[in-house]
Structures are given as C-alpha cells and as structure tokens.
C-alpha cells in the first residue's frame, strides 16, 4: 500500500511539473562596453565582454534579466539590466533595471515590476517613450511626413526588405549601391527593397541620391517607429514575407 501511495505521489508531481514547465533559461551574450556601460552605436570601437541573461517567456513575449555584475542574482535594481531582442539579433538591447520597467512587443506594451521579482508581464495601456521594444512581425511604419507604410506594401512581393540607413553610414551607402546595380535581379526574384533613412537630413539624402544616381524615394522614419523597430545602430535590416512574418534581419544579394 505504501509503495502504491509513493507511485501516486510521484505521478502527481510529474503531472504538475509537465503542466507548469519551467520557462526560465540562461543565455550568454556579448556586449560592447565602455565605462562598464553597454554601448549599441559604433560597437566595433569598444571592447566586448560576455554577460549572462535569464530568459522569460509569457504571453508570446520574451524578455531578459541581465546579470551585469556577474554575481548570479539577475534582479538588482540600479545594477542589473533588463532587455528584449528581435528573433534574429545576437544580443538584447537593454536598460537599467528599476522598480517598474516597460517593454513593447509589436504594438502591445507591458510592465515588469519589482513585486513579481520582474518574472511576469502585465499589460498596460500607458503611452510610453520606451526604447525597450522588438517586433516579430510587420507593423505599420510611420514616416516623418505623416504618411504610413501599411501591410499592403508586402502583398505583391515574395519578400520585402525594410532597410534603415543614413548618409554618414558607409556600409549603408555601399549596400544601396549594390541594390541599385542589381535592380533587375531583385525584380526577377520578386523582392521589394525599401530604404528608410534615420539620423540624417533630407538635403543630405537628396545630395547623395544625385551623386550616386540612386532612384530611391527619400523616406524618413518617425521617432515612434524607430523605437518600435529597435533602431539602436545603423544599418538595421528587416525582411518580411508577404504575410508580414519576420523571416530575417540580414539581406545579402548573393
């Protein structure tokens, strides 16, 4: 009888364990660091160090707690960081951990708070200037002229490349030259390439277009959409299929 009771307890525990799978996993990321702070622009100029991140998944949304001082705690306010990353990025973009923190996935905003040890999400309707954001599918892109690129731009193509760039970004300009020289190949592959500039001025874009012979319509991303698309450095690339699914964050003509 005692043996049967033990087996029942074991099976009950196993059932509970399977119905509540552990959603925390540890990953390691390499950050560019200056003065013990993470740097996301011109990362190649700075030394790199690894930090461990505790990954959580809830409401189809992922977020991380980063153990910045490497003492195994992950949730020290004012010391550790929290962050999110798009599916194809190598590391999350992060912010210092506070008692109440906010993140955005696609167009939904959440808070993560001290009372849950930052282990759960709470939907919020607050309109926040929040730079901790990522996407997993296409969301409309607001431009500074007030117009919006909607899902309709995807429907006639097998792939659409949204390419955020600037005139001062040498790799960006090189990519635009490659695309300009291979327009027929892109048409044959039914690929739509849409460059959208950020962090430079319209007159500089017009001057570059004239100098290089580009035929791109100048479009500047709004600050709101720059945050939603996690533009922390340039270039930033997002490749979508015709249904709006994010399928890559890198585009090579080869």
Banded model confidence at residue 20, pLDDT cuts 50, 70, 90: very low
| Domain match, 130 and 27 both | yes
Banded model confidence at residue 88, pLDDT cuts 50, 70, 90: confident
**Could you give the number of structural domains in the chain?**
2
Quick: pLDDT tens for 34-69.
Answer: 999 999 877 888 999 999 999 999 888 999 999 999
Flag whether 11 is in a domain.
no
Quick: pLDDT tens for 133-147.
Answer: 999 999 999 999 999
Q: Which of 74, 107, 134 is the last residue of a domain?
A: 134
Percentage with pLDDT > 70 across the chain = 89
* Type and span of the H or E element at 221: none
Read off the pLDDT of each residue in 73-83 and give the average, rounded to a whole number: 97
Flag whether 8 is in a domain.
no
Give the range of the structural domain holding residue 151, as residue numbers without chain letter. 141-248
Helices (H), the chain: 2-19, 170-181, 183-188, 202-212, 223-228
pLDDT of residue 17: 37
Q: Which of 134, 151, 186 is the last residue of a domain?
A: 134
CB 198 within 8 A of CB 230: no
Which residues contact residue 171 at a Cβ distance below 8 angstroms, ignoring those fewer than 6 apart?
235
pLDDT of residue 253: 79
Percentage with pLDDT > 90 across the chain = 74
| 246 bridge partner residues | 240
Flag whether 7 is in a domain.
no
CB 137 within 8 A of CB 60: no
Q: Which of 87, 109, 134 is the last residue of a domain?
A: 134
Quick: pLDDT tens for 203-213.
Answer: 999 999 999 99
């Amino acid at each position: 009888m005692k043996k049967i009771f033990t087996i029942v307890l074991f099976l009950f525990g196993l059932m509970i364990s399977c119905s509540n799978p552990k959603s925390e996993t540890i990953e390691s990321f390499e950050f560019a660091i200056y003065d013990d702070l993470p740097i996301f622009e011109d990362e190649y100029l700075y030394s790199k160090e690894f930090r461990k991140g505790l990954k959580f998944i809830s409401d189809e949304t992922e977020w991380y707690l980063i153990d910045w001082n490497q003492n195994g705690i992950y949730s020290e306010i004012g010391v550790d960081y929290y962050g999110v990353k798009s599916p194809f990025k190598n590391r999350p973009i992060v912010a210092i951990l506070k008692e109440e923190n906010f993140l955005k996935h696609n167009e939904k905003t959440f808070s993560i708070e001290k009372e849950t040890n930052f282990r759960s999400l709470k939907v919020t309707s607050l309109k926040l200037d929040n730079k901790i954001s990522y996407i997993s599918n296409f969301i409309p892109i607001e431009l500074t002229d007030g117009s919006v690129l909607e899902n309709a731009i995807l429907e006639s193509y097998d792939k659409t490349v949204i390419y955020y760039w600037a005139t001062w970004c040498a790799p960006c300009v090189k990519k635009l030259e490659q695309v300009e020289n291979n327009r027929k190949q892109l048409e044959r592959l039914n690929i739509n390439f849409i460059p959208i500039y950020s962090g430079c001025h319209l007159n500089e874009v017009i001057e570059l277009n004239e100098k290089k012979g580009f035929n791109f319509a100048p479009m500047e991303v709004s600050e709101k959409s720059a945050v939603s698309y996690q533009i922390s450095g340039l270039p930033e690339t997002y490749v979508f299929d015709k249904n709006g699914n994010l399928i890559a964050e890198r585009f090579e003509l080869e």
